[in-house]
Amino acid sequence: MTPSETTLARLADAATPGPWIKSTRGCDAMISTEALGFLFPALGNSEGAHQDAEFIAAANPSAIKSILARIERQDRALKYANTYVPCITTYEHAMKVVNKINAILGGENTKATHTGPEGAGDSKEKL
């Protein structure tokens, strides 16, 4: 993880659990959470404040953790690909590498099942 991703992960772990909700009190945009049942301070009543409140509510700890987990999986898959793709010498080896990358990315149900190079047999590719 980059330093900013590490900081986001730490802050997401320490933050009030969601879901977070954009609320209004009068004309002021606010953020509330069902977990603790209180409102965060008003952000104001401009259009920008309401848009900010919607963004802040959407960028809740659960959403941040999900994004960071996906980035981590993508980084691992890229590292694996950079290590093994240059070494591929056979079609079968290529399919093993593709399947491993799919598994790292969380796509266990998207295994490559292509039976050979195009024109070499029945294609069952699910990439």
Q: Does 13 map to a domain? A: yes
Tell me which residue range forms the domain holding 40. Answer: 3-65
60 CB-contact burial (10 Å; exposed 0-12 / middle 13-18 / buried 19+): buried
Q: Which of 117, 112, 120 is nearest to 95 (CA)?
A: 112
Q: Does 12 map to a domain? A: yes
pLDDT > 70: percent of the chain: 77
Residues forming beta bridges with residue 38, ordered by sequence position: 33
Q: Does 125 map to a domain? A: no
Residue 116 has a pLDDT of 52
Q: Does 97 map to a domain? A: no
The helix (H) or strand (E) run that includes residue 30 is strand 28-33
The domain tally of the chain equals 1
- Are β-strands 28-33 and 38-39 bridged in parallel, bridged antiparallel, or unpaired? antiparallel
pLDDT in tens, 41-84: 667 777 778 888 888 888 888 899 999 999 999 999 999 999 99
First-to-final CA distance of the chain: 28
Site of tokens 């954009």:
22
Q: Does 10 map to a domain? A: yes
Q: Does 93 map to a domain? A: no
Residue 121 has a pLDDT of 41
Q: Does 106 map to a domain? A: no
Q: Does 40 map to a domain? A: yes
Contact 124, 112 (CB under 8 A): no
